[in-house]
Chains A and B, each alone.
Chain A
Amino acid sequence: MSEQRAATQVGQFARRGFAHPADAAEAWARLPGLDTESVLEALSHAADPDQALAFLVRLADADRSGLAAALADGDEARALTAVLGMSEALGEHLVRHPERVGALGGISVEPPGRDAHRRELLAAVGADPASDAPIARADGAADRLRIAYRDALLGTAVRDLVHGVRIDDTAAELADLADAALEAALAIARSELPADAAPCRLAVIAMGKCGGRELNYVSDVDVIFVAEAVDGADESAALATATRLATTLMRVCGEPTAEGSLWQVDAALRPEGKQGALVRTLASHVGYYERWAKTWEFQALLKARPAAGDTALGAAYADAVAPFVWAAADRDDFVVDVQRMRQRVEDHIPAKEADRQLKLGRGGLRDVEFAVQLLQLVHGRSDVLLRSPTTLSALEALSTWGYVGREDGATLAAAYRFLRSLEHRIQLQSLRRTHVVPDDEADLRRIGRSLGFRTDPVAELTDEWRRHAREVRRIHEKLFYRPLLQAVARLDAGDARLTPEAARERLEALGYTDPQGALRHLESLTSGVSRRAAIQRTLLPVLLGWFADGPDPDAALLGFRRMSDDLGSTPWYLRLLRDESAAAERMARILSSSRYATDLLLRSPDAVSLLADDAELQPRTRQQLMVEALGALQRHDDADGVAGAVRALRRRELFRVAAADLLGLLDTEATMVALTDIADATVAGGLAAAMRAVAQGLPTGELPTRFAVVGMGRFGGAELGYSSDVDVVFVHDPLPGAEDKAASDAAMAIANELRRLLTAPSPDPPLEIDADLRPEGRQGPLVRSLASYAAYYERWSSPWEAQALLRARPVAGDADLGEAFTSLIDPLRWPDGGITDDALREMRRLKARMESERLPRGADPTLHTKQGRGGLADVEWVAQLLQLQHAYDVPPLRTTSTLGALQGAVDAGLLDPRDEEMVVSAWLLASRMRNAVMLARGVPSDSVPTSARDLAAVAYVLGYDAGGDLLEDYRRTTRRARGVVERVFYG
């Protein structure tokens, strides 16, 4: 052959779609006599012509005349090349068994059916298909089963690849074939029983995709085994036989032999899962479902279908379990379970291949299947038309009868079909169980071509895949929520739509406790033709889902309605929610979980814009806040104006911190610091305004004294919560030459003005200033001079006052004065040599008395976060005792921070690290609890709430599944801390 001819031939192969035309030309040359135009034509239709041709060469080597006969027939050539070009595994099968090539000829569009498959596979293992309990008599039956199964699979592949049957039909045939294989494997298992095995009846129930007759080329086949004794025989002996059969069956299918393996048989869906008995009697199954089963198990039962073994027993099983499925939605925990199941689907995304996964993760095939099943469980109890075990049929029924919008139903069905086809084609190549779209060009090209993308297979396939995946990712809004809007909005007349009854049913299943009210809000938000109503119609299906994830969807929907009433005509608001879906999701989470944050937000709805940006959800630094608070002095001439600006600043920052906290962006300690910074800035701004106002009222226009605010308690410790007042003492120091009386009058006026400014009625929340920790408490003067403090502490100071001073921290006002104050008190709070035995005894007694007296009447000591067992006071007193005893020679103990002091004590060997861990976890939990109560309910409480609703809301904020678990954990953590307190504090 001349060079030129070869070159032309190479070009011809390139035009025919070969990826490696030169290699192809060379291979082609090795098929003399078979190299006809019609064969070449057939090859060019194959998904991977190069692979098909390579197999032809190997088949020719194995059985030339057989191949020639097959290729002579145009249809058969087409079938053969299609299989060879798509499936390496089936190609290898043919190479190993070249005599099977001829069988590819007469493959019809119609599948042979379940019975024919069963007969064929049973015959292959030498069992009598007519017997009720066929026994495999052939040698090497497991190998024979594999060969016969692959032969049958060739037929399925040809129907799929050449005849173009629909994905549902292919999947159904694969399930039929799996049934047949299970039957044959059971026949093999019977042949391996010892002669004296007790007789038994065993039925194999297909679950999952096999049960739904929507199987993949390769996936685990889920089954459940049910067995009974033959009449009158001993049940335990029968169960022993049945267990043996089941084990052997699983081994026969899954074990690799010289001919490979079929697939794994997975029996994990049985009662009690992998821990449970492999085989149970029918009564035992029913007993389990009556008493123990979880909602997802009923969901799994939706697909139960007798697949092999004893027919009557299988049918009895199906009859017995069906009623459970349709009663599942009546179970108490259904709503909660459904919520968890929805979230679980999304949690299981394996990070590394997440973006190429077809099955798992949000928008995966599993998600579609789950969502359809949930709707079936919700609506199927009252509507028998929805009870199909097959995803596509169920989806069609849901859409026909108005439970899902017709267009959404059709889009989803198309997407599901495409993604399943893609999955099938991926699996065909190696017959391996995978749900990941390959990233190899050649693989993508083959798969793309097989799905009909011929021009630019890789790009076209990828586009189409991404397009469908996008549709599926919005499955929940399409399936669950959009029909609810159609129920109220009455837009597309004529279509079947959700009846009001079904809408209520669905809202209830999604966790809305007042479905009537919810429907009213939906109607008001979506009716009309305004742009706003139109945007809200597209937003709400998504928002409703997010609301339903929180503890109070009803409140969230109401909150959203109020937000929209306020801001709906502001152009940026709806745009923000529409375009920045993170902002919308965050808003939904806040509205559904926190009255505190919702109240702050509704007071100035424009704060919602903070949610669009992570950087905006970082707390402002103390420095930034101070600058802004003090800057208000320049912008406002009057004190009330300054205070207004400072308090608005505080409101905005509180929302920022609350939002970040609720969204999990801030831990407990960071939250406490941020809240303290806000309070510091508020007090500083308020104080500056008060000082200026008082000075302006004086004839000289100048203050006769220096003034400082010292933070005490949690404020001093920088441990504020949302509900904390700020504890302070006020100190002043007359300027040289000033008259004492004038100085103290001015100081008193400043203190009073500060409190007035920060608590005067206003739309912004007040900051309560509490000065009760001052010397002599409420009986003492509100403000003292530095000299007066010095005189007082010299004469009186009790151990209790020294303890309170441990947390004193200058917060605002004259910095030098603040420092002078701390120098004055340092010798008291860190007494040289520690405290005396008398003082220690006094302190313990005081604490013991407080435990009985401070606890409000009727309060549960195990649930009181402040004075209760192992609560805040318990832990703080431990820290403070260690400070009083050791701070004089352990400098790290000279801190106002509780956690800092405890850590310092551990570092100095004064506290066992295990004890520290126990008290710190209790202290942090109690602090988080107080914050969570405030966030969830919007009103403070010292006790863990016990009403079911409040408790659930608090549990959600704290990330617990159920209120009861939270109570358990709280009581346990604090009980352990109390044990430490008894030892360390009381000694």
Chain B
Amino acid sequence: MDKQTEFVLRTIEERDIRFVRLWFTDVLGTLKSVAVAPAELEGAFAEGLGFDGSAIEGFARVYESDMLAKPDPATFAILPWRSESPGVARMFCDILMPDGSPSYADPRYVLKRTLSRAADMGFTFYTHPEVEFYLLRNQPDEGPPEPIDRYGYFDNSPQSVGYDFRRQAITMLEAMGISVEFSHHEGGPGQQEIDLRYADALTTADNLMTFRTVVKEVAIEQGVYATFMPKPFRDAPGSGMHTHVSLFEGDRNAFFEAGAPFQLSKIARSFIAGVLTHAPEITAVTNQWVNSYKRLAGGAEAPAMICWGHNNRSALVRVPMYKPAKGNSTRVEFRSLDSACNPYLAFAVILAAGLAGIERGYELPPGAEDDVWALTPAERRALGMRPLPASLNQAIQEMERSELVAEALGEHVFDFFLRNKQSEWEDYRRQVSQWEIDRYLPTL
């Protein structure tokens, strides 16, 4: 038994933990949880806990349903929101086949595989997400959503629900060992942003799954509702998850090169070129819902054109202002992601696109100097900017043709994901929206 496992078992004893929640994530990014008593835990560490994979979205068909969830002791944390004793803790699990080999259906393994490809090239992948979400006064079944306040970007909102909310959410996150870098009121009414500190991509993805749960839990405690829906209001900005990414070679930032333009190394430039080249085909993963595309159509800070810019907030990829003497903080910001993505899969495809750029030595096109939204379509065309897919349907079609995404997700997840999204789109196409009623019924 390794030290970490011993630590977990000891802590459970000392802290009087009565239940341990084993967490894993389905292919669409929904957190799944199964509670075990501490007595069962040792067995789960050794052999994994059997469960029926066919009951989980995207995991398995009925005939291959036996799967194992094997907790990763390094992810052990006590859940802070169940304040009363007995306590409850959680761990993330890897999903294994009955023979103990990793399951290709496990999003965590998808990311691990891509990370190990990066590791073979000598890289570690770090990410730093800025998560936006809305706080609503009412529950989803209580009529049209009402934001908790009317404040705007960076507004100091003393004694507001939002202020308390952020304070409590951050306290809980920190209690679970998840460092928060920054938090503030975002542009939309009731919209919040919390930035997680940068960490390796697997840890970040685990943290994001925890983060969503914590935010939902705190909202319940405070009698409000938190949503990561990409675009809940027509007239207010959507909830994105701008993510800063960087590659390290050992302890050195591989994106940094002193004296290069924007201090960007050749590796960084090829990485960006890779992300731009493959942007259309990875969009179905980074923006996986019908609703995601309403955010991308919204203008302002949501990127819809494939380009990059230095400190340009309307570009798909932004290279932030370089801070002298901080070579290790060189990074690029990927801006199309939204808060409702599956972070494991999304990080995997972004990394795969970037690595493709490095492996194949893509050249970085010139950066966009201007506000992309201010350009006319003809100007954009002249500058060689392609648009991101405008709908889930377009994104699916781009993805279907992509060897890169098939490679990164693995054939199993690739196939399931496409089928699931196709059926989501089919379902959506049959809807008659309020907009259509309002617009057509009176005149037609």
Chain A contact residues: helix, strand, loop or mixed:
helix
Task: Give the A-B pair count, Cβ closer than 8 A.
Answer: 79
Within the complex, what minimum Cβ distance (angstroms) separates B171 from chain A? 27
Q: Is A432 an interface residue (CB 8 A)?
A: no
With an 8 A cutoff between CB atoms, is A975 at the interface?
A: yes
CB < 8 Å: which of A862, A946, A964 contacts B63?
A946
Tell whether A963 is near chain B: CB-to-CB under 8 Å: yes
Asked if A276 contacts B101 (CB within 8 A), the reply is no
- Which B residues touch A952, using CB under 8 A? 99
Residues of B within 8 A of A967 (CB): 104, 411-412
- For residue A22, CB closer than 8 A to chain B, the reply is no
Q: Which residues in B have their C-beta under 8 angstroms from that of A290?
A: 2, 4, 74
Contact with A along B180-193 (1 / 0, CB 8 A): 00000000000000
Query: B2–A333 contact, CB under 8 A?
Result: no
- Asked if B121 CB lies within 8 Å of chain A CBs, one says yes
Contact status A972-B411, CB under 8 Å: yes
Question: Are A323 and B2 also in contact (CB < 8 A) when A276-B122, A860-B61 are?
Answer: yes
B236-251 interface bits toward A, Cβ cutoff 8 Å, 1 = contact, 0 = none: 0000000000000111
CB < 8 Å: which of B4, B97, B251 contacts A964? B97
CB pair B1 A971 closer than 8 Å: no
A196 in contact (CB, < 8 A): no
- Establish whether residues A333 and B100, one from each chain, have CB atoms under 8 Å apart when the complex forms: yes
Q: How far is the CA of A860 from the CA of B412 in the complex (A)?
A: 11
State the CA gap A967–B61 with chains docked (Å): 14
Q: Please judge, given known A-B contacts A275-B120, A862-B415, A975-B406, whether A968 and B2 are in contact too, CB under 8 Å.
A: no
Asked if B410 is at the interface of the complex by the 8 Å CB criterion, the answer is: yes
Q: Is B31's CB within 8 Å of the partner chain A? A: no
Residues of A close to B62: CB separation below 8 A: 858
Q: Mark B85-111, 1 if CB is under 8 A from A, else 0.
A: 000000000001111111110000000
Q: By the criterion CB–CB under 8 Å, are B2 and A327 in contact?
A: yes
- For B47, the closest partner residue in chain A by CB is A332
Interface size on A (CB < 8 Å)? Answer: 34
What residues of B have a CB within 8 angstroms of the CB of A962 in the complex? 101
Query: Is B52 interfacial (CB-CB < 8 Å)?
Result: no
With A291-B74, A862-B415, A971-B415 as given contacts, are A275 and B251 in contact (CB-CB < 8 Å)?
no
Check: A832 CB closer than 8 A to any chain B CB. Answer: no
A contact residues around B64 at 8 Å (CB): 946-947
Cβ contacts B52-89/A at 8 Å (1 or 0 each): 00000000011110000000001000000000000000
In the complex, what's the smallest C-beta–C-beta distance from A317 to chain B, in angstroms?
A: 16
Q: In the complex, are the beta carbons of B61 and A277 less than 8 A apart?
A: no
Minimum Cβ distance to chain A for residue B329 (Å):
12
Chain B, 327-378, CB within 8 A of any chain A CB = 328
Given contacts A858-B62, A948-B98, whether A968 and B250 have CB atoms under 8 Å apart is no
CB distance from A782 to the nearest CB of B (A): 37
Interface presence of B119 (CB below 8 A): yes
Residues on B with beta carbons closer than 8 Å to the beta carbon of A284: 251
- Residues in B neighbouring A277, C-beta threshold 8 A: 249-252
Provide the B373-402 mask, 1 if CB < 8 A to any CB of A, else 0.
Answer: 000000000000000000000000000000
Neighbouring B residues of A324 by C-beta, 8 Å? 2
Establish whether residues A276 and B250, one from each chain, have CB atoms under 8 Å apart when the complex forms: yes
B3 within 8 A of A: yes
* Max chain A Cβ within 10 angstroms of own Cβ: one of B3, B121, B411, B415: B411
B290 to chain A, nearest CB (A): 25
Output the nearest chain A residue to B410 by Cβ-Cβ distance: A968
**Is A383's CB within 8 Å of the partner chain B?**
no
Most chain A CB atoms below 10 A, which of B99, B252, B328: B99
Q: Which residues of A contact B116 (CB under 8 A)?
A: 292
Does A948 lie within 8 Å of B97, measured CB to CB?
yes
Asked whether B251 lies within 8 Å of A239 as measured between CB atoms, the reply is yes
Measured CA separation A962–B103 after assembly (Å) = 11
B401 — nearest CB in chain A belongs to which residue? A979
Q: How distant is the Cα of A651 from the Cα of B411 in the complex, in angstroms?
A: 39
Task: Give the distance in Å from the alpha carbon of A947 to the alpha carbon of B65 in the complex.
Answer: 9
B101 cross-chain contacts in A, Cβ below 8 A? 333, 948, 962-964
A333 CB contacts on chain B under 8 angstroms? 100-101
A876 to B276, CA, bound (A): 39
A272 at the interface (CB under 8 A from B): yes
For B123, give the chain A residue with the smallest CB separation.
Answer: A275
Closest Cβ neighbor of B62 among chain A residues = A858
Residue in B102, B119, B328 whose beta carbon sits within 8 Å of that of A236 in the complex: B328
Considering only residues 18-45 of chain B, those with a C-beta below 8 Å from chain A are: none
Q: Kindly state the separation between the CA atoms of A968 and B99 in the bound complex, as whole angstroms.
A: 17
CB closest residue in chain A, given B411: A971
- Give the docked Cα–Cα distance between A333 and B101 (Å): 8
Asked whether, in the complex, the Cβ of A862 is within 8 Å of the Cβ of B119, the reply is no
Asked if A949 is at the interface of the complex by the 8 Å CB criterion, the answer is yes
Whether B119 contacts A858 by the Cβ 8 Å rule is no
**Closest CB of chain B to A331's CB: distance in Å?**
10
Residues from chain B with a CB closer than 8 A to the CB of A330 are 1
Query: Per-position contact with B for A320-353: 1 when CB-CB < 8 Å, else 0?
Result: 0001100100101100000000000000000000
Contacts of A971 in B (CB 8 A): 411-412, 415
Taking a contact as CB atoms under 8 Å apart, the answer to whether B121 and A275 are in contact is yes
- A residues near B61, Cβ cutoff 8 Å: 858, 860, 946
Within the complex, the shortest CB–CB distance from B134 to chain A, in Å, comes to 36
CA distance A239 to B328 in the complex (A): 14
| B328 lies within 8 A of A968 (CB) | no
Q: Which residues of A contact B103 (CB under 8 A)?
A: 964
Q: Per-residue CB proximity of B415-433 to A under 8 Å, as 1/0?
A: 1000000000000000000
Bound: A667/B400 CA distance, A: 33
Docked CA distance A239–B249 (Å): 14
A106 to chain B, nearest CB (A): 49
Q: Which of B275-312 contact A (CB under 8 A)?
A: none
Complex CA distance for A947 and B102, rounded to whole angstroms: 14
- Chain A stretch 949-976: residues in CB contact (< 8 A) with chain B: 949, 952, 962-964, 967-968, 971-972, 975
Task: Give B367 Cβ to nearest chain A Cβ, in Å.
Answer: 30
Q: How far is the CB of A270 from chain B (nearest CB, A)?
A: 10
Give complex CA distance A157, B97 in Å.
57
Nearest residue (CB) in B for A289 is B2
Q: A332-B100, A967-B104 are in contact. Are A323 and B3 (CB under 8 A)?
A: yes
Q: From residue B288, how far is it (CB to closest CB) to chain A in Å?
A: 21
B250 partner residues in chain A, CB cutoff 8 A? 272, 276-278, 280
Q: Which residues of A contact B406 (CB under 8 A)?
A: 972, 975
Chain A residues whose C-beta falls within 8 Å of the C-beta of B251 in the assembled complex: 236, 239, 277, 280, 284
Most B CB within 10 A of own CB, among A239, A332, A949: A332
Q: How many angstroms between the C-alpha atoms of A239 and B102 in the bound complex?
A: 35
Chain A residues contacting B411 (CB-CB under 8 Å) are 862, 967-968, 971-972, 975
Q: Quick one: CB contact mask for A277-301 with B, threshold 8 Å, 1 for yes?
A: 1101000100000111000000000
CB atoms of B328 and A964 under 8 A apart? no
Complex contact B104–A272 (CB within 8 A)? no
CA distance A17 to B2 in the complex (A): 62
Report whether B122 and A272 are in contact in the complex, using a CB–CB cutoff of 8 Å.
yes
Complex: chain B residue closest to A239, CB-CB = B251
Complex: chain B residue closest to A287, CB-CB: B74
CA distance A858 to B63 in the complex (A): 9
* A–B Cβ pairs within 8 angstroms, 17 of them: A236-B251, A276-B122, A277-B250, A277-B252, A280-B251, A284-B251, A290-B2, A332-B96, A858-B63, A946-B61, A946-B63, A947-B98, A948-B98, A952-B99, A963-B99, A963-B101, A968-B411
Beyond contacts A275-B119, A290-B4, A860-B61: 15 other A-B pairs, Cβ-Cβ < 8 A, are A272-B250, A276-B122, A276-B250, A277-B249, A277-B251, A278-B250, A330-B1, A858-B61, A948-B99, A949-B98, A952-B99, A963-B97, A963-B99, A964-B97, A968-B104
Interface residues of B (CB under 8 A from A): 1-4, 61-64, 74, 96-104, 116, 119-122, 249-252, 328, 406, 410-412, 415
Q: Which residues of A contact B (CB under 8 A)?
A: 236, 239, 272, 275-278, 280, 284, 290-292, 323-324, 327, 330, 332-333, 858, 860, 862, 946-949, 952, 962-964, 967-968, 971-972, 975
5 residue pairs, one from A and one from B, having the closest CB atoms: A277-B250, A971-B411, A275-B122, A948-B99, A946-B64
